[in-house]
Structure 1
């Protein structure tokens, strides 16, 4: 058989793979965004539920923060989960993760007290940790580099979209059915999403060589200096984001005198701003800066730090339009960073290790998520001042920029 004859079938297979990827990639984006959104329902519901939980269970601010610690504490399993997704595929991880989130969130309906609720939130967090890393692999394989930043940012809007949805719906559900009925409702919705992911997700028809490459040693990631520095940046940004999201409602109610519904509406505005910003930062990263993710990450970090200082200086009688403007700008910074960051992580690692790298980044980010809210809550409890808490968040954001400036490598992922 001649080289030309042998090349014919290979070219035909390659062409079929490309056509399949192009026609189905938008379904993959929808499914991945759905997974990102629904698996985040539980952790994003804690902030709008905080006043109801405090009232019913007599919780302190630090105990509210520990609920987030319980949910995100399972982040330590994200590296092996990412490796499993790189080795065995995405679909299984989606179904298992969503099922765990939905089941244990629904079971919170019957929690007799704070201790059991804490355990159920931790088990729900395990499901979150299982479902998250594979979403990055899905985008890395199904989308070419020229559109990857936008696609990843759309997918990453899922967390903020979950926050937007829960900020609007949870107070109304809690008023009607209590926080227990709210947890049951959210859990059932996540279980429905697990079924949809199992039915409609398809694995990318990658060549055998690409699948075998996922057996690379994870030590390759731990030797990647730039990736580790970026994980440090993610740690700082994660501390700032979850502290802002978890305590914005309480800050507005307790420091500025807003009603719970009004404060929850502003939290929804911040989440919506974060959703739009994640897409916007992705477009800017792809189209304006030609894939230079580091520049956009720096802009976001500076915006976050300055906004935190503005919140620290905000007087109790500040006009509502100023408060609203700061909340919206804060949403773009505190919440909007993750899409560009995850694209940067995956491109520094390469396609074959993208889910493992995402797991590593998310593990480090979750450390920030775990320690940030309780430390912020403790700081406010001790100092009796939200200004001190926001000043600390500004310091964390600016320190993260120093780490970002030390990254010197270019992306490794090819189109």
Structure 2
């Protein structure tokens, strides 16, 4: 359905316009959710946190995502994307407003976790819209939509960090939450669910029996399970880079806090281009074979992570930036390919719950990864041990992806 679609109301809808609203919503959700990375240094100073405790902030966000992913995927399969865009925007905004007014670390973790429920709901919600609106060029469309995550994160580093330096991180975060509320209302007003969702998906009650049945189908799907476990490593590696690149550049390489913050912006902008570029590459060069593209991404990321261990203190900013551009392009650019791979492994009617399932499993990488990386750095006093750990994780990712690819090929051949 890449051509304009006629709704029952007689209104002609262009799928690319709907993609635009999904992208805007994705950008603003990421702008809030991923603000924890650029603001982490300031939050840590304010609340007197260790590096491991700072790492727990994004971990809490993705714990919430993990909890929400399957129910969100299940619900979006039943009611569509339109209403959920509003609900998740309001929920995430409220939770992070509570973060902005609290000085208790454990309450902050709780609110970030609740915010993660809204953050995690965005992925199945928007993925379902992409799958229904785009029968062709789906990898490109998904890459554009997923670009919103890294673009939102880049905007957080570019805007919130300077604003926080002037207003304080609390006021900066409150203002950002207000923008998300407005965005959610506008997306609800202008986004439309495609008619095929209503025609092909009867309005059945959400029942526990159906939920159990759907979950068992996902658990028995070995390629999907392996892909989801591999995504743990990729997601964890991405959040490790986002969470610690500012601290690594500031403390170990000796860059100023402003230049260190710019590295996060550079990483996320590069990742935004990567999400679109890898989507186009998977559609054109690899003919829609997403798993092998993920293997290449993991291989390149290993090499770049090891390059970081070779950078001495005093390395010029532009040398570090060149490495981070490549790292961000790969490790922050994989998500669209992951979402496509997961949803295309199952029938279209199960796309929402497949997104939720793979997000639930993949989220554990970012729950475990950043705190573990921070603990390794706290223990050794050197970030290089952390980068070696990340490279080892990605090596395991490659093995799982290759096995998943072989199993998927066997299923198609049978």
TM-score in terms of structure 2 length: 0.91
Work out which of the residue numbers 382, 402, 405 in structure 1 matches 2:402.
Answer: 405
Aligned ranges 1:28-177 → 2 under 5 Å: 28-74=18-64, 75-144=66-135, 146-177=136-167
Partner of 1:206: 196
Judge conservation of contact 1:49–1:170 (CA < 8 Å) in 2. yes
Q: What's the CA shift for 1:191?
A: 0.6
Which is higher, the Rg of structure 1 or of structure 2? 1
Judge conservation of contact 1:51–1:260 (CA < 8 Å) in 2. no
Deviations 1:162-218 (A, max 9, x none): 111011111111111101111101111111111012101111101666204996831
Secondary structure at the aligned position of 1:206 is classed as helix
RMSD of aligned residue pairs (Cα, Å): 2.3
Judge conservation of contact 2:67–2:117 (CA < 8 Å) in 1. no
Aligned ranges 1:158-307 → 2 under 5 Å: 158-206=148-196, 210-212=200-202, 217-218=213-214, 219-307=216-304
Partner of 2:383: 386
Aligned ranges 1:12-27 → 2 under 5 Å: 16=6, 23-27=13-17
Q: What's the CA shift for 1:38?
A: 1.5
How many residues matched? Answer: 399
Deviations 1:268-312 (A, max 9, x none): 011000000110001111111111112211111111111111112
Q: What's the CA shift for 1:410?
A: 5.3
Moved more, 259-268 or 313-322: 313-322
Distance between the aligned counterparts of 1:141 and 1:91, measured in 2?
Answer: 13
Deviations 1:203-246 (A, max 9, x none): 11016662049968312222111111110111110111101110
Distance between the aligned counterparts of 1:16 and 1:100, measured in 2?
Answer: 32
Instruction: Find out whether 1:335 has 2:332 as its counterpart.
Output: yes
Task: In structure 1, list runs of 5 or more residues that go unmatched.
Answer: 1-13
Q: What's the CA shift for 1:54?
A: 2.1
Judge conservation of contact 1:81–1:359 (CA < 8 Å) in 2. yes
Distance between the aligned counterparts of 1:112 and 1:319, measured in 2?
Answer: 37
Judge conservation of contact 1:348–1:411 (CA < 8 Å) in 2. no
Deviations 1:242-266 (A, max 9, x none): 0111000000000001111111111
CA gap 1:182/1:410 in 2 versus in 1, 3 angstroms: farther
Distance between the aligned counterparts of 1:164 and 1:109, measured in 2?
Answer: 20
Secondary structure at the aligned position of 2:196 is classed as coil
Judge conservation of contact 2:77–2:353 (CA < 8 Å) in 1. yes
